[in-house]
Amino acid sequence: MIDIQNQKDFRNIDIKKVGVKNIKYPIIVLDRARGTQAVNATINMYVDLPHHLKGTHMSRFVEVLNEFQGQISIRTFQAMLEKMKQKLHAQSAHLEIEFPYFLEKTAPVSKARSLMEYRCFIKAENSNEKNDYLVGIVVPVTTVCPCSREISRFGAHNQRSLVTVRVRYKKFFWIEDVIKIVEDSASSEVYSLLKRSDEKFVTEKAYENPKFVEDVVRSVAVHLNSDDNFTWYSVEAENFESIHNHSAYAYVEKG
């Protein structure tokens, strides 16, 4: 059969990334409390394509994925990227994985247990110029506005916030540790299950610990700066305001 992808292209334009997106695939991730955790991931896989080739072989990406079935982790990314380059005759390979990560949380007063979801993503690149690995974690928290509390006779407005941390690192670290840094930097952490006694505790804790969006990102940055394992990071926080028709936003970056 004719291999159309291997035919010549004469437009003289290199393609930086070509491949497949939004592959739904089960993977196993490390869990400090339970050893491992099975999650359903969304995976993107790309390679470069030189200007003289018409196309790449899309089926080979899935073939590589299947070769690593049950073994996909940060520890095998390098081998996966090398295999992608080999099978697709490429100079660079890119791998992006996004997945939900679940932690069992205990309510502060009732001690009711429930699973809390955090969105995680990993981006990896292998080329002649660099090997780059980046891990990201999205953590929902609660913030109470310090200004609102200061000027109001009763109460203070609060909001649910999303804090996204991206890090480059030298050695393995636990996702749970970064989650704790973020939750400790907010007015309060959030839970999937709270009884009335817990709601009272969380509401009062947040009120006694007001935070601007700027406070949150700076606090996370201070913690990350104290750990030399993290060679680079970015921290962004978005507060979904309860009394405004817009979000409050802040971003910091190391380097």
Mean pLDDT computed over 113-121: 97
Q: Are residues 86 and 156 in the same domain?
A: no
Q: Are residues 191 and 253 in the same domain?
A: yes
Closest by CA to 25, choosing from 62, 74, 77, is 62
Distance CA 88, CA 100 (A): 30
Q: Are residues 65 and 171 in the same domain?
A: no
Residue 212 lies in a domain: yes
Residue 118 lies in a domain: no
Number of domains in the chain: 2
Q: What's 162's domain CATH number?
A: 3.10.270.10
Q: Are residues 58 and 171 in the same domain?
A: no
Distance CA 50, CA 9 (A): 9
Least confident span in 17-21, 31-35, 132-136, 200-204: 31-35
Residue 84 lies in a domain: yes
Q: Are residues 102 and 45 in the same domain?
A: yes
Q: Are residues 4 and 83 in the same domain?
A: yes
User: Do 49 and 8 form a contact (C-beta atoms < 8 A)?
Assistant: no
Q: Are residues 183 and 238 in the same domain?
A: yes
Q: At what angle do helices 213-225 and 175-185 cross, to 10 degrees?
A: 140
| Structure confidence at residue 2 as a pLDDT band (50, 70, 90) | low
- Domain extent, residue 204, equals 138-255
pTM of this structure: 0.90
Mean pLDDT computed over 181-210: 97
Residue 119 lies in a domain: no
Average pLDDT, the chain: 92
Residue 1 clears pLDDT 80, i.e. is over it: no
Mean pLDDT computed over 62-85: 89
Residue 165 clears pLDDT 80, i.e. is over it: yes
% of the chain at pLDDT higher than 90: 80
Distance CA 48, CA 156 (A): 52
Residue 122 lies in a domain: no
| Structure confidence at residue 5 as a pLDDT band (50, 70, 90) | low
Q: Are residues 150 and 100 in the same domain?
A: no
Sign of CA dihedral 2, 8, 13, 17: positive
Structure-token pair, residue 78: 């390098």
Residue 114 lies in a domain: no
| Structure confidence at residue 7 as a pLDDT band (50, 70, 90) | low
